[in-house]
Amino acid sequence: MSGLREQKKQATRKTIMVVAKDLFLEKGYEATSTELVAKKAGIGSGTLFNYFPSKAELLVEVMRAEFSGMEEKEDMSLEILETAEATVRDYLTKRLEGFSLLEKKLFRELIVASLNAYQSKPEFLNSLMELDFMFIEELEELLKEVRNLGMLPKNFEVEIAAELIYSSVMFETLVYLYQEGRSLEEVLEQTGRKLTFILK
């Protein structure tokens, strides 16, 4: 019986997240109430809070699941191109294109909600930070591979380079999110200029 109970709990959790994602995209974070999410999910408000203690934490979990879903859907075994820079640029292009599928407004609300959740529950951001570390680790592996192929000097410090590339991507992504006219192509162009500097 405990197995069936656990399956039902997981199914309810998934339903809540699917409903919440649709409502967040349709109405925005502020206009989506937990009562509306619960109603659309076919549960009581109290039941929703058994799964997600706050609306902020629900949004963070929805977005985290979305990013994890990108990880599962995408084949990130990228081909090695003619140079280290071209290879890393190709990787970053494929990574960033996934972000363009989600609205800027929801990303901005995610940042605010994450900070609010952090105030009451500092350990909560660990799950989001895991995604950042995964990104850095992927960059490290890619840089090690191109270094082993002789495209980078043998003493090239892949760990430092991966963190610098990640920092550049995050900076450009923040600019993208907060400047309405900023396009993903501009993010890739600016990140590419920094990539040239890091890998030269």
C-alpha atoms less than 13 angstroms from C-alpha of 95 in its C-beta half-sphere: 23
User: Strand, coil or helix: what is 52?
Assistant: coil
User: What CA–CA distance (Å, rounded) separates 106 from 114?
Assistant: 12
Domain coordinates of the chain in residue numbers? 1-52, 54-199
Q: How confident is the model at residue 146 (pLDDT cuts 50, 70, 90)?
A: very high
**Span 49-103, pLDDT tens digits:** 999 888 888 887 887 777 665 544 445 556 789 999 999 999 888 877 666 556 6
Taking CA 53 as the corner, what is the angle to CA 50 and CA 99, rounded to the nearest 5 degrees?
Answer: 115
User: What pLDDT is attached to residue 78?
Assistant: 65
User: What pLDDT is attached to residue 111?
Assistant: 73
**Span 157-187, pLDDT tens digits:** 999 999 999 999 989 988 888 888 888 888 8
Q: Which comes out higher in pLDDT, residue 158 or 45?
A: 158
- The share of the chain scoring above pLDDT 70, in percent, equals 82
User: What pLDDT is attached to residue 73?
Assistant: 46
Q: How confident is the model at residue 16 (pLDDT cuts 50, 70, 90)?
A: very high
- Is CATH 1.20.1300 correct for 54-199? no
90-119: average pLDDT: 72
Q: Which CATH number fits domain 1-52: 1.10.530.10, 1.10.10.60, 3.40.140.10, 3.40.50.1820?
A: 1.10.10.60
Arithmetic mean of pLDDT over the chain: 83
Q: Does the pLDDT of residue 142 top 90, yes or no?
A: yes
Both tokens of residue 154?
A: 């043998």
